[in-house]
Structure 1
């Protein structure tokens, strides 16, 4: 069964069996995971997390699902990664779903292409469990999701203020949520938030945004990019938002390199196509090969996995996008 994000939020407390949530909206992933973890804590359900780096790691997941500790009646296994189980793993998955109705397997994956969604792994879960695409492709979907965030904060926005908020953040839900938090703090006594409230609040509190960082990266302006990054860190911008912003630009540049005639189809705004084209002419395509693994390392460090410093890794990404190296090789 497929559920959208709001439907999934309502089913968190009763979730059992197998769930897959997948997509590239960090706000939706963050909110759903928070809701699950709070629910497990409230119900005293034991939680374990596994990161899948290769197919064999799935053995640990299924072994855990079939063995409870002495102090638990229920178990929630949280799995992160983009590697699906092999044929033997699919067999174990089917057995788990058929015979273990109390535990929960929650798999968190990035955005999937159409062929991946047709794989036996997704088909088994879709037929016997729950799949949740973490997407918000239409304005009404994004406004509904942000409306939930506004309700949590106890604020209401005028209709044209919603439109302004979405245009200002270019569909970035996590950035829009942060703006709602700012305007809620600044205009706590206002009944209906208008465009003027949003504009004055965001202008006062955000000298730089992640969009300014993106512009500096596309222009190859390393000094300005580092300055903006340091400002964002100092002003409390979530590292997950900064990573989302950088990864989006890296992904677009790599896609445009492969499909130079499809800029608009890739989602690049018409007035920024020339910036991406200039960036591609400046960059060495060999650098693209290092970007996916670097993004994974940044994501892991933000989640507290490993010993690398996320700010140092982001600086590596920034310098690479500007066509430079953070550390020069020593000369003989």
Structure 2
């Protein structure tokens, strides 16, 4: 399977339309735009019908093979779009994909969309089967250092220009949210009919589009950036996120830290402890940083606090869950107002 970056897709499509495309990555905007390019080019080639499947646990994989082998009344060529939200088709799905890849039809184009696939997935039978006949587009997140360049290219594609300071201001406003950035560029097209974007335009029209998701909250807390973590928490609450969702993410991370910490205290290597605890390589630095200021007694206390918050959410304790989530977030960031011994006593009061 030819592996392409998103910016290589357009020229590759002009040369040849593959029977199978796999779009893999965790950046929704880039994945969506890659799919749009493939669909548009396929329509130009006569693929006028589109059928969408969701490869979850309840999906009957025989439907995919049946649709691939069926002929429509008007013999239209079809785009079969398969979305596997967890990136794991399972045994039945793997078998169906291997079978499909063994004899791809010229009348069908299979477009598969998944999150980022790990090494195990890329070594699987289904991936290798697709690898022989298709193309994969790997979507990588745009990091903080890459964002200004990405914005500059986006503005240029929209017929706009901006100086470095203006682009930096725009990058600070959207905080890595590419979907919000794309929407703001569209607004700026209306504000800058001459094509020149100014800082005043950005300050006046671009809204604070920071992506307040629970994973961002966790990463900022592990990094020890309590101010940014608290900002994320307030943003999540303002966007209507359920307190139980935030608690789930915090408690899950605390349990992971506790497991790694316990293994290291038992004399295990840090890398081994991370691997057995399900910590990805790219997150090892965050975990190591967190464990510099969080030891087993503190982590055990945080886990008890999480349990107390769960009771408050369920109405079993008279407490404000969001106030306690704020305290738990600060603690995970390394900010403790009272000692673990006193915290333990406080938790037994209610």
TM-score higher than 0.5: yes
Deviation at 1:36, TM superposition (A): 3.4
Corresponding residue of 1:296: none
The answer to whether the aligner puts 1:63 opposite 2:66 as a matched pair is yes
* The one of 21, 32, 48 aligned to 1:45: 48
**1:262-295 CA-partner distances (Å, limit 9, x unpaired):** 978349999xx99xx99977534997xxxxxxxx
* The one of 51, 59, 81 aligned to 1:78: 81
* The one of 112, 116, 140 aligned to 2:117: 112
Corresponding residue of 1:293: none
Cα distance change of structure 1 residues 90 and 30 upon mapping to structure 2, 3 Å threshold: closer
The answer to whether the aligner puts 1:22 opposite 2:27 as a matched pair is no
8 Å contact kept, 1:20–1:107: yes
CA distance in 2, matches of 1:264, 1:148: 32
8 Å contact kept, 1:2–1:131: yes
Corresponding residue of 1:124: 129
Deviation at 1:124, TM superposition (A): 2.2
8 Å contact kept, 1:6–1:145: no
**1:55-89 CA-partner distances (Å, limit 9, x unpaired):** 86222112211222021341110001133263632
* The one of 236, 256, 259 aligned to 1:258: 256
8 Å contact kept, 1:17–1:103: yes
Name the SS for the 1:48 alignment partner. Answer: strand
Cα distance change of structure 1 residues 163 and 17 upon mapping to structure 2, 3 Å threshold: same
Deviation at 1:5, TM superposition (A): 0.9
Corresponding residue of 1:283: 306
Deviation at 1:25, TM superposition (A): 0.3
TM-score by length of 1: 0.62
Gaps in structure 2 of 5+ consecutive residues: 218-226, 262-278, 311-320, 327-350
Cα distance change of structure 1 residues 91 and 44 upon mapping to structure 2, 3 Å threshold: closer
Cα distance change of structure 1 residues 211 and 52 upon mapping to structure 2, 3 Å threshold: closer
The two structures, once aligned, show a CA RMSD in angstroms of 4.7
Cα distance change of structure 1 residues 46 and 27 upon mapping to structure 2, 3 Å threshold: same
CA distance in 1, matches of 2:287, 2:197: 30
Corresponding residue of 2:3: 2
Name the SS for the 1:49 alignment partner. Answer: strand
Name the SS for the 1:2 alignment partner. Answer: strand
The answer to whether the aligner puts 1:189 opposite 2:193 as a matched pair is yes
Per mean C-alpha deviation after superposition, the further-off stretch among 72-81 and 38-47 is 38-47
Residue correspondence of structure 1 range 156-167 to structure 2 within 5 A = 156-167=161-172
**How many residues matched?**
268
